[in-house]
Amino acid sequence: MKSFSTSSPAPTERRRFLAGLLALAAASSATWAQGRGMTPLPAAAAAPALRLRDADDRPVDLARYRGRVVLVNFWATWCPPCRKEFPSLARVRKLFKPDEFEVVAVNVGEDPETAFSFTGITDFPVVFDRAAQTMADWKVRALPTTFLVDRQGRLAYRATGGREFDDPDIVALIRALAAVE
Amino acid sequence: MKIARLFLLAGLLAGTAAAQDGMEMRHLVRNDTIVLGANPLTSASRTAFYTARGFPAAAIRPYAEACGFSFGMQNAGASGIRTRLADWHVVGADGRRIAFRPPEAWDIDWGKAGLPPAARIAFRWAQFQSENLFEPGDWIMGMATLEMRPAVPFRLVARYRDEKGNHEIVLDQLACAD
């Protein structure tokens, strides 16, 4: 068994409470980088059903986006990497035509008011999985988790942990999926 | 709903621009495959976090007062890795080995206490999961608590498995936060 060891001294602590989020952010010496890329899902299985309601109680069904590439992002406001990556969802959406790409953000376990206090108004659907049942159906193991669904409604890629979705490598994946007939 | 949202948005614009992103780590170790970070969590911060998500303060007290950390772990290698929290432990200054309490054990307590589903969902997904699979580039954050307080300073031994076998990575000079 290989073993690696080191330690870092505790620098000056900066503690500031903000809506409980700081349970994950008490002190600092090293900034955590976002993850990179997305993992291909070779089985090309059909995406599980995703039928949820948005903040105005309107139904949103993933099936309505068949023919487009869809980025499905599972998130919560209390999740630091979810918060960090969220602005990149809007940025990547703007790189594509509405008829070729869509983003669907699935908030897990929270109410619309809580989510809106973070998101504000978005250009893409934010839907609510209050009981985390859809998250279970999609076999999500951690937050955030993001999937790319191809134009035929199949799971194509997955990312666990935060990303910057307008990263050129991820944009290239989306472009490639959008180009497939 | 829309008027309420406008008020919320005004508050958002006025008050939260400087929100921390929670992605800084006080202790950090890395090798060719893994980056592992840890932040000791105070009782006050955990109480604030979970009471804001539906936990009565009395219910969350045992968890908040346990020695706990927020961990961040990233797969910086080229193949998938797996972790089991049951394979992690700390070694106190007195040489005593102490395990982590599984999130499922806490959830049994929350079920017995009749806590609301939304609170239990937030708790479940805020924890470092009992088992994780990290594909290349993936990373996961989550909280975990020890079964008891170790003698300080203590060291964390975090084991993981990849295609080449079992490995471990160690964080030294750790202490619980008050």
Token pair belonging to B68: 């706990």
Quote the tokens at residue B42. 């105070």
> What are phi and psi for residue B150, nearest 5 degrees?
-85, 165
Size of interface A-B (CB pairs under 8 A): 224
Reported as type and span, the H/E element at residue A174 is helix A168-179
Contacts of A141 in chain B (CB under 8 A): 129, 132-133
Measured in angstroms, the CA of A134 and the nearest CA of chain B are apart by: 13
Q: What pLDDT, on the 0 to 100 scale, is given for residue A44? A: 81
**Closest Cβ opposite residue B22 in set A10, A24, A37:** A24
Query: Are A27 and B168 a contacting pair at CB < 8 A?
Result: no
Which of B11, B72, B52 is closest to A34 using CA atoms? B72
> Which residue in B has a C-alpha nearest to residue A8's C-alpha?
B27
Spatial distance between the Cα atoms of A76 and A130, rounded to a whole number of angstroms = 11
Q: What pLDDT is stored for residue A35 in this prediction?
A: 81
CB contact under 8 Å between B49 and A23, yes or no, is yes
**What is the least distance, in Å, from the CA of B99 to any CA of chain A?**
19
Kindly determine whether residue B74 and residue A3, on different chains, have CB atoms separated by under 8 Å: no
**Ranges of chain B with pLDDT below 50:** 1-20
Q: Which residues of B touch A7 (CB under 8 A)?
A: 27, 29, 171-174
pLDDT tens per residue across all 181 residues of chain A:
544 444 333 333 333 334 344 444 433 346 667 788 999 998 789 999 999 999 999 999 999 999 999 999 999 999 999 999 999 999 999 999 999 999 999 999 999 999 999 999 999 999 999 999 999 999 999 999 999 999 999 999 999 999 999 999 999 999 999 999 7
Measured in degrees and rounded to the nearest 5, phi and psi for residue B30 equal -145, 155
Q: Which ipTM score applies to this complex?
A: 0.83
